[in-house]
Every structure is written in structure tokens, then in C-alpha cells.
Homo-oligomer: A and B are copies of this chain.
Amino acid sequence: MNEHVHTTSELTKNQALVMGALSQSDSPLSAYTILDHLRDDGFRAPLQVYRALDKLVEFGLVHRLESLNAFVACRHPGCDAHQAIAFMICETCGQVNEISDTSLAERLKQLASKAGFALKKSTVELRGICSNCQAA
């Protein structure tokens, strides 16, 4: 197995617990919400959650939503297109849709390069109402 690809089986106990909490949820969770979910599993302090989250984000298994101060499990496991992610966040139901778009990523690269800016990470978060909630 590729040493750079992290799967659930390679996670530590705490990382696996946090990953499980995020995977079961259909919307983003804050670190403190995760902590509450894991009290019965022995979690006592925020740092236990944050340390696991740091690693999970590093592994590409979890994304941080800056505009929500919350975290979601990646919906594209094993996908390497993670340079080009955008999130559509429904302000009604809270659900998040993760999309990967090459042309968007290209445009961001162009803009950065035109400004001589060495791009490391892109944050694209769209707020609005999802199709389900519009219909309702």
C-alpha cells in the first residue's frame, strides 16, 4: 500500500473515533460538537479532538470549512483532485456539497500566477440554499 495514502485502517484510535463521528454526520460538525459525541468513548478535552482533526485534515480525509468553523468528512475518498475543491453550504438545512472543478482551479491558478503569488491553498465556500430546500 502506498505510504502516502491514509485509509481508515491506518488511523490511531482517537483519529478513528473523530473520523467516525464526522462520517456518520450528514452535515459539518464543530470540534466541540465532536467532543460531546465522543464523551462516552473517553474524550475529555478539546485538544484530543483538535489533534485528531489536524491529522485527518493533513491526510485529506477531512476538510475544514472556514466560514463555519466546522469540519466535514471528505466525500471523495481516495480522490487526488483535492487541489480544486469548492463547497456549497446550504444555509437552511446545513448540508454541504463538495465539488471538484478543474476549470475553477485553473482560473485560480491563473489569477495567482498573474499576481506573482505562490498559491498554497484555496478556500472556496459558496453560501446559499440547496435545491431540496428551495423546493420545500
For A130, the chain B residues whose CB sits under 8 A away are 115-117
What would 19 A/B residue contacts be, using CB atoms closer than 8 Å?
Answer: A66-B123, A86-B108, A88-B115, A97-B117, A99-B111, A99-B115, A101-B111, A104-B108, A108-B126, A111-B126, A112-B128, A115-B130, A118-B129, A119-B126, A121-B126, A122-B125, A122-B126, A122-B127, A123-B123
Contact check, B116 vs A127: say whether CB atoms are below 8 A apart. no
CA distance in complex: A119, B116 (Å): 30
State whether the Cβ of A131 lies closer than 8 Å to any Cβ in chain B. yes
Copies of this chain per assembly:
2
Verify if A13 is at the interface (C-beta below 8 Å from B): no
Contacts of A9 in B (CB 8 A): none
